[in-house]
Structure 1
Amino acid sequence: MKNIMGLINLHESHDLLREITRYRPVAAIPFAGRYRLIDFVLSNFINSGITNVGILSAGNSRSLMDHIRSGKEWDLARKRDGLFLLPSLQSGTVQGAFPDDLADFFSNLDYIRSSRQPYVLLAGSRAVCNINFQDVFKLHLEKQADITVLYKEYTAAAVKRLAGATMLETDQAGRIIDMEICPVNPRSNKLSLEMYLLDRQLLVDLIDSSMSRGGTNIARDCFMKNLKELKIYGYPFTGYLARVDSVQNYFNQSMELLRPEKWQELFFANGSIYTKVKDEAPAKYQHDSNVRNSLVANGSVIAGKVENSILFRGVRVHKDARVINSIIMQKGEIGPGVVLENVICDKDVKISAGRKLKGELNHPIVIEKGTVI
């Protein structure tokens, strides 16, 4: 896989994630106790032998840059190839089903042209999975495809719960014959993972051609509009997938990781998932604590009751507090006697003693970063 470069496109819509993306891009959303969404695609790249990775930034990426730093945790701090942060021409949050990302690709064509690898694997960050791309590359060569797109099949009922999705339709040979971006009533049950493998020079030509014709979105103007002219094939992914496209999906997919078999498949199926190391002490459980079926990250101190919940690094749950079916992000503090149920607390949230907050499983309460209640 030394002949493939990785490109991570951070132009991902924030429309249904506003409460937790006000101060960060989608790629920097905390997930599963210790991780950010971008950790999964970076880990998949390095586990597949891809060591030249460019990240096309978008909007306010300060928190993301602080997280990935030099890329050392993913073995991407290298003298040759390694991690490259590609600047964006835009500011503000990314909105809409067709984000204007093509101009940023065009402004960074020099990086794509000068790379040594003849192939490019383009991916976003909101498709959370553990995959080795070697089989994808084999299929790409066997089919003599121009572009290979990864997808996952869903049931008809599950498709209705997807928001802002790109759906694919394939023929019997696996060739993609139709693509729908953000359909109201999808005609297919094949969800695109928004991961594309193609020849590097072809990507350069598509970007240049689309820009010269007024294109603005790479998926629509480079891939979707060339379905008939190019041989575009699908690769069926059958492993565990968590797609973070709305607050409700973020909550549901997080809670699903409390099932041991789902956790094992996501974090160990095709290699380990790496993240920023903080060298904190292990979680501390005080004498009166009661913790059941929960993920508790290092640096946390638990004196109350935690059930069916996910606690990130440095969280403190005081005595007589109860946290049920909730997500508490980094350095959250839950005061004495507090009761939280079906709640998402962003980073640095403090809940004062005696407060009670209860959401619904299908509509959790979201408390924004740094809020004191």
Structure 2
Amino acid sequence: MKNRKWVAMLLAGGKGTRLNQLTKTIVKPAVPFGGKYRIIDFALSNCKNSGVETVGILTQYKPLALHSHLGNISYWNFYNRYGSLTVLPPYQRENTGVEWYEGTSHAVFQNIEFIEQHQPDYVLILSGDQIYKMDYSVMLQQHIETNADCTIAVVEVSWEEAHRFGIVVIDETTYKIKDFEEKPVKPTSNLASMGIYIFKWAILKKYLIQEEQKEFTHRDFGLDIIPSMLTDGLSLYAYYFNRYWKDVGTVHSFWEANLDLLDKQKNIFLQNTEWRIHTVENSDPPLYLDENAKVHQSILSDGCQISGTIEQSVLFKGVKVGKGAHIKNAVILPHTIIEENVWIENAVVGSKSVIKKGVIMVSKTPKVNLRVVGNHEIVDPSTEENQINNIVTSVL
């Protein structure tokens, strides 16, 4: 087998519990985004566009929708003489039961044999739940030039959000990492790890095996592998990323990232248009607006049928909006039906749900209490108060 310089391992098996009702039936990377895509499409497209020919996708939690999406592999065109896209779920090993992935580093450890057969010099570790465009080959070039044992992609985040991330402290001249703390209560920096790492494979393999031999370990890159490398004096460098990036780990950040597409300055699809985001195309009919439809600054996808008013919202494929309905600052996922005279404002509504005639779902404080309806839900005004208490969840 041809020796590849690098391979990518894409972590796509987490439960995504902070996305609440949206991930009760599917894994987070498979959640729809931006009208026609799924979240994982961004990492996959970045790999394709960056020249990463070999990608292993580590799946685990409720993978059916994700596996179905990945089954249409021709859309990413990874297959060539030397490259491949391989789905890597947990599996039963000799004389043992199925050993589930218990952490990010453990998932990669379980697939050492897959990596070894490609004999890479470097391994790229990615997350499947982020919205961004990045040329990983530029990051690899810096990794090689600095002779780093590990390079971590970093981005500035607001101080209010810093506690959600792994935080790095760097030498501002060399970008060498001096300290790293996973999700600190009181951050000392707002430079956040993007969960994107490049390792020398020989070094990473050593630390993966070493971590599994410890009596106590989280089996996690941020909590175990990275701190151990720093303690041992290895060379870790930050790769500074200053373009659009959004971790969509919470319902609120998912809502914000979708509505960012309505801002010309933030719309990631309008940035670097030659860097395409690929996805599985569908055969839905064209969008239909009847004589009652009014639309302002919104994204409406194929298969939608609109008879109401849509303001500053993102509607996915196959959404139907009845006469007299008003949708504002909302994200409506695929094949949901909004009946007549419904008012939805500052909300996320999951796939294949039905909002019955006359329902009012409005939040005046979305940063505190965003309205959220899960997948396959029915909201009826006759029992609306009880249903909303069960379905709609504060994001904090």
TM-score, length-normalised on structure 2?
A: 0.87
Query: In the superposition, relative to structure 1, how do residues 297 and 35 fare at CA in structure 2: closer, same or farther (>3 Å)?
Result: same
Secondary structure in 1 matching 2:226: helix
Alpha-carbon offset, residue 320 of structure 1: 1.4
1:263-302 deviations in Å (ceiling 9; x for gaps)? 1466635600011111222211112210101011111111
Q: How far, CA to CA, are the matches of 2:159 and 2:126 in structure 1?
A: 21
Written as runs of structure 1 = structure 2, the 5 A alignment for 1:225-244 is: 225-228=228-231, 229-244=233-248
| 2:135 paired residue among 127, 132, 147 | 132
| 1:114 paired residue among 111, 114, 117 | 117
Secondary structure in 2 matching 1:17: helix
Percentage identity across paired residues of the two chains: 25
Alpha-carbon offset, residue 304 of structure 1: 0.9
1:131-170 deviations in Å (ceiling 9; x for gaps)? 111221111111111111100123xxx2213563111111
The equivalent of 1:25 in structure 2 is: 27
The equivalent of 1:190 in structure 2 is: 191
Q: How far, CA to CA, are the matches of 1:25 and 1:297 in structure 2?
A: 22
Written as runs of structure 1 = structure 2, the 5 A alignment for 1:40-119 is: 40-78=42-80, 80-88=82-90, 100-119=103-122
Secondary structure in 1 matching 2:7: strand
The equivalent of 1:291 in structure 2 is: 295
Q: How far, CA to CA, are the matches of 2:23 and 2:183 in structure 1?
A: 20
The one-letter code of the counterpart of 2:230 is: L
Q: Is the 8 A contact 1:121 1:196 kept in 2?
A: yes
| 1:278 paired residue among 276, 282, 286 | 282
Query: In the superposition, relative to structure 1, how do residues 254 and 159 fare at CA in structure 2: closer, same or farther (>3 Å)?
Result: farther
1:22-66 deviations in Å (ceiling 9; x for gaps)? 112221122111111110000000000111000111221111111
The equivalent of 1:206 in structure 2 is: 207
Q: Is the 8 A contact 1:345 1:369 kept in 2?
A: yes
Q: How far, CA to CA, are the matches of 2:199 and 2:358 in structure 1?
A: 56
The equivalent of 2:385 in structure 1 is: none
Q: CA RMSD in A?
A: 2.2
Is the radius of gyration larger for structure 1 or structure 2? 2
Q: Is the 8 A contact 1:2 1:49 kept in 2?
A: no
In the TM superposition, structure 1's runs of 4+ consecutive aligned residues that sit over 3 Å from their partners are 77-80, 264-270
Q: How far, CA to CA, are the matches of 2:5 and 2:185 in structure 1?
A: 39
Query: In the superposition, relative to structure 1, how do residues 270 and 243 fare at CA in structure 2: closer, same or farther (>3 Å)?
Result: farther
Say yes or no: does 1:353 pair with 2:357. yes
Q: How far, CA to CA, are the matches of 1:173 and 1:179 in structure 2?
A: 16
The more displaced of 187-196 and 221-230 is 221-230
Runs (5+) with no aligned partner, structure 1: none
Query: In the superposition, relative to structure 1, how do residues 328 and 163 fare at CA in structure 2: closer, same or farther (>3 Å)?
Result: farther
Q: How far, CA to CA, are the matches of 1:15 and 1:188 in structure 2?
A: 26
| 2:263 paired residue among 254, 259, 262 | 259
Q: How far, CA to CA, are the matches of 1:145 and 1:82 in structure 2?
A: 27
Secondary structure in 2 matching 1:139: helix
Q: Is the 8 A contact 1:11 1:101 kept in 2?
A: no
The more displaced of 99-108 and 295-304 is 99-108
Alpha-carbon offset, residue 345 of structure 1: 0.6
Q: How far, CA to CA, are the matches of 2:360 and 2:272 in structure 1?
A: 37
Q: How far, CA to CA, are the matches of 2:163 and 2:285 in structure 1?
A: 39
Q: Is the 8 A contact 1:240 1:265 kept in 2?
A: no
TM-score, length-normalised on structure 1?
A: 0.92
Secondary structure in 2 matching 1:55: strand
Query: In the superposition, relative to structure 1, how do residues 337 and 162 fare at CA in structure 2: closer, same or farther (>3 Å)?
Result: farther
Q: Is the 8 A contact 2:175 2:237 kept in 1?
A: yes
Q: How far, CA to CA, are the matches of 2:105 and 2:137 in structure 1?
A: 27
The more displaced of 301-310 and 281-290 is 281-290
Secondary structure in 1 matching 2:225: helix
The one-letter code of the counterpart of 1:56 is: L
Q: How far, CA to CA, are the matches of 2:177 and 2:50 in structure 1?
A: 25
Query: In the superposition, relative to structure 1, how do residues 111 and 17 fare at CA in structure 2: closer, same or farther (>3 Å)?
Result: same
Q: How far, CA to CA, are the matches of 1:104 and 1:168 in structure 2?
A: 23
Q: Is the 8 A contact 1:130 1:266 kept in 2?
A: no
Say yes or no: does 1:367 pair with 2:369. no
The one-letter code of the counterpart of 1:326 is: A
The equivalent of 2:168 in structure 1 is: 168
Runs (5+) with no aligned partner, structure 2: 92-96, 380-396
Query: In the superposition, relative to structure 1, how do residues 114 and 266 fare at CA in structure 2: closer, same or farther (>3 Å)?
Result: farther
Q: How far, CA to CA, are the matches of 1:265 and 1:82 in structure 2?
A: 26
Q: Is the 8 A contact 1:324 1:340 kept in 2?
A: yes
Alpha-carbon offset, residue 104 of structure 1: 2.8
Alpha-carbon offset, residue 190 of structure 1: 0.3
Q: How far, CA to CA, are the matches of 2:26 and 2:272 in structure 1?
A: 27
Secondary structure in 2 matching 1:268: coil
Alpha-carbon offset, residue 334 of structure 1: 0.6
Alpha-carbon offset, residue 319 of structure 1: 1.4
1:82-117 deviations in Å (ceiling 9; x for gaps)? 1111112699x99xxxx6233332221110111143
Q: Is the 8 A contact 2:4 2:119 kept in 1?
A: no
Aligned length: 365
Alpha-carbon offset, residue 348 of structure 1: 0.2
Secondary structure in 1 matching 2:18: coil
Secondary structure in 1 matching 2:115: helix
